[in-house]
Each structure stands twice: as C-alpha cells, then as structure tokens.
Chains A and B, each alone.
Chain A
C-alpha cells in the first residue's frame, strides 16, 4: 500500500467510527470535532480504545493534546506519528 493509500485508508476507518457519534454523517476532514458537540467522555473513551485496537498503537499521556483530536486529519496525523510514519 502506498503512503497516500494508507492515509486514505486510515482516514476512512476513522470517519466510519465517527459516523456513530456525529449527527452529520459527512463530517469534513478538517472540521472541528469539538464544535460538533460530540466530544463527551463516553466518546473520548471509545475513541482511544478504537484507535488503539484498530491501528495497534498506544495512546498515552503525552498524546493528551486537544489539537491531536480536533479534526479527522489531526487524528490521522497522530496515528501516522504513533506508527512511526510521521
């Protein structure tokens, strides 16, 4: 899989997960997720477990920065960084 294809695959998986929590199913890649009002503690815990299981990474206290979770693209970048790609 090319780097670009991998990014697209990661993006799609994250968006598929987010669909469950977002009323507007067509959230943009750079849309502020916090502005959607979906970021509850329930969502936050689900997201961490989803990222860890789906992408085989460990999200830890150094990753606790709102900018890492603000948009789909930001989450993709975090995963890439955790997987050693960024």
Chain B
C-alpha cells in the first residue's frame, strides 16, 4: 500500500522516535513495571497524545491511516506505552464524539497537550465482557449532584491518570461520567506482577461515595455503553490492532537478527526449513494484518458505518496473529527466548494481553459472526425481492 508523502514523512518520524526513545528502554520499563515521566512527556511534546483530537480543540487532527502508523510503531517498541496511547485516546475519542461543548472546550486541549492523562474505567472485579451489566452505581443526591460507588479493576494507567471515564448504572441505565483523579472518594491501588503490559501501571480503583456534578456526565443515561463506551472501544480496538502489527514486527526483527547469528548443526538457524516456515508466517501475517488495519483506517476517515466491523475484524486477526507469532519468536530463540536478555519473552507476554483487551477475541468472534449473518439475511432478502420482480 502506498502512503501519501505526508504519511511517509510521519512514519519516518514515528520510527525514529521509537528507535531512539522507546525500544532501547522497553525491557527496563517492563522490569520496573513503570513508564518514566520523560517518555510520556516526549509523547506529549510531539503531539502524539492529541493526535486524533480535532484541530479546533488543540489536537493534531491526524487522519486514521497516519494514526495507525503511529500505533504500529509504538506497538513495535513497547506494548505498555501503546496502552497509554490507547486508553488516553479512548477518552479523547469519547469526548470528541459525545462530550458536551463545555467538556470538549475544557478537557480536550488539556488532553491534547498531555497536561491531563486520561484512562478508561469499564472493567470490574466481577464484570469483564458482560460490560453492560457493570456493578458500579450512580445515585442522585438531594443537592442535584451524583454519587458514584463501586470498583474498577485492571485499569491501564490507573496509577497515574488525571481523568477517568467511568461507566456505571444509573436507575438501571448505563451512564458514563468523568472522574478527576483527585476527586474525594477515589482511591487507587497499584496492580503488579501481571503477565503482560507490566509497565502500563494498572490499578484497582475504588469509588466510595465519590460525589460528581452533573456537568461530569458524558452523554445521557442509557447511552453510556452503546454510544460513549462504544466509540471509545472502537478507537481502542483500532489502536490495539495496529499496535499488534508493530509488536509482530518487533518479533520478526528479533528473529531475523537471531537466526542470522546463531548456528546449530553447523549452519545459521535461518538455513533451517522449519525456522524459515515460522519466519514466512510472520512476514505473511504482518502484511495481512496491516492491510486489515489500514482498510479499517480508511473506512474510519470516510465515516463509513462498515468501519466498526472492519475494526473488529482487524483487531481480532492482528491480535491472534501477534500471539501466535510471538510464541514462534520465543520458540525460535529457544532457551534464550525465555530469559531477560532478549525482548521476545516480553512480546510473548504482551501479545497474550492483546487478545483480551478492548473486547476479548471471543467477543470479537461473536460480533463478527453475527454481522456475517446479518449480511447474509440482507443478501437473501435482496435476491428474494429480485426474483419476485422477475
């Protein structure tokens, strides 16, 4: 696929940023279970945190193809850093599409500059895929304000975020609220020792009588999941899909290097047919996943309704192939791949997380199959109509 000259220039800048500022340090961040402030500041200084926010609110107004290339490069360097870009962007997207004009004017410029880091708080200890039935509760107080009670778990960047987009039930309707990080009634507990995304600074959030003004409501009650979370998750899936292409490129680059240096049975590993098969699969899967992601990106830019399914399909395929290729990358590295001296063990752990976040792959399979049936029924009706006319 050909890029525009502007996209090619942007891609080179993203590559250079990741090669110099992200990739050399990603293993250390993973071990420390923390992203340094300096790299978050570097993202902000380059305008990457506000990339997709419209220009009128201080963002970059970046097209989806270019943003996909950014996610791909960040994903190549560090899945944890991609996680920050993803959840921050999900809050930006939800506010851009469904925020009130006051919320947009106040928060979007701050999010674009990276003065405010956003995070997405949907998942709970008891609720994952069944997201419409979150247990967090919003109740209305006599003074007209709202009270939030409940827990949100495995919240990426939950340790450092300044602004949370939180989903709860209000009178049995899903609703979304903005919760500032310093609100009374909010406490955070860092989560450590996870399989992957170790530097993504996940947290357990507890809301205990957290009082919120009506101005913090995003959208309206009843539309919290379908519209607000839906828009955010669609954005998140696109980031994750593109990031998986990058992660798998990281695997491929590591394997090309390793198999060119290590010898077994007197020849380089790259000469062994079974190694060649795994390398071939990586190259093929990367190309296929990238095309699916770019296809989804192009549809997003055209505001095509089919972009939603194209994004789900891209995320599903890209994360599945990333998990498989990362496993192959560890296999190619053998015992070396299991230790801290090579990045493939990090890719392997992070790739597994990619299959779970922003809608597990089982949820994607359910959605994609359902949509396939809808298409089939529509085609059948169209054929029936034509035959009646004949």
Q: Which residues of A contact B (CB under 8 A)?
A: 19-21, 23, 25, 39-42, 44-50, 52-53, 60-61, 64-66
Q: Which of B97, B99, B222, B305 has the most CB of A within 10 A?
A: B305
Known A64-B98, A64-B220; judge A45-B371 contact (CB<8 A).
no
Cα–Cα, bound, A24→B330 (Å): 52
Contact among B97, B99, B222, B305 with A46 in the assembled complex (CB-CB below 8 Å): B305
> Using a CB-CB cutoff of 8 Å, which residues 294-313 of chain B contact chain A?
302-305, 307-308
Closest 7 CB pairs of A and B: A44-B226, A41-B226, A49-B305, A64-B220, A46-B305, A64-B223, A50-B305
**A49 touching B219, Cβ below 8 Å:** no
Main secondary structure of the interface of A (DSSP, over half): helix
Known A19-B378, A45-B230, A60-B98; judge A65-B220 contact (CB<8 A).
yes
**A20 touching B375, Cβ below 8 Å:** yes
Closest-by-CB residue of A relative to B231 is: A45
Cα–Cα, bound, A21→B371 (Å): 9
Closest-by-CB residue of B relative to A66 is: B222
**Per-residue 0/1 for B214-252: is the Cβ within 8 Å of any A Cβ (1 yes, 0 no)?**
000011101101110111001000000000000000000
* CB neighbours of A60 from chain B (8 A): 97-98
Cα–Cα, bound, A30→B308 (Å): 28
Tell me if B367 is interfacial: C-beta within 8 Å of chain A.
Answer: yes
Cα–Cα, bound, A47→B225 (Å): 15
Q: Which residues of B contact A (CB under 8 A)?
A: 97-100, 132, 218-220, 222-223, 225-227, 229-231, 234, 302-305, 307-308, 367, 370-371, 374-375, 377-378, 381
**B219 touching A19, Cβ below 8 Å:** no
Contact among A42, A53, A61, A66 with B308 in the assembled complex (CB-CB below 8 Å): A42
A to B CB contacts below 8 Å, 26 in the list: A20-B374, A20-B378, A21-B374, A23-B377, A25-B381, A40-B226, A41-B225, A41-B227, A41-B230, A42-B370, A44-B230, A45-B226, A45-B230, A45-B234, A45-B305, A49-B305, A50-B305, A53-B303, A53-B305, A61-B98, A61-B219, A61-B220, A64-B98, A64-B223, A65-B220, A66-B222
Known A49-B307, A64-B223, A64-B227; judge A42-B98 contact (CB<8 A).
no
Closest-by-CB residue of A relative to B173 is: A66
Closest-by-CB residue of A relative to B382 is: A19
* CB neighbours of A50 from chain B (8 A): 305
**A19 touching B305, Cβ below 8 Å:** no
**A42 touching B367, Cβ below 8 Å:** yes
* CB neighbours of B367 from chain A (8 A): 42
* CB neighbours of B378 from chain A (8 A): 19-20
Cα–Cα, bound, A20→B305 (Å): 12
* CB neighbours of B132 from chain A (8 A): 41
Q: How close is A2's CB to chain B, nearest CB, in angstroms? A: 27
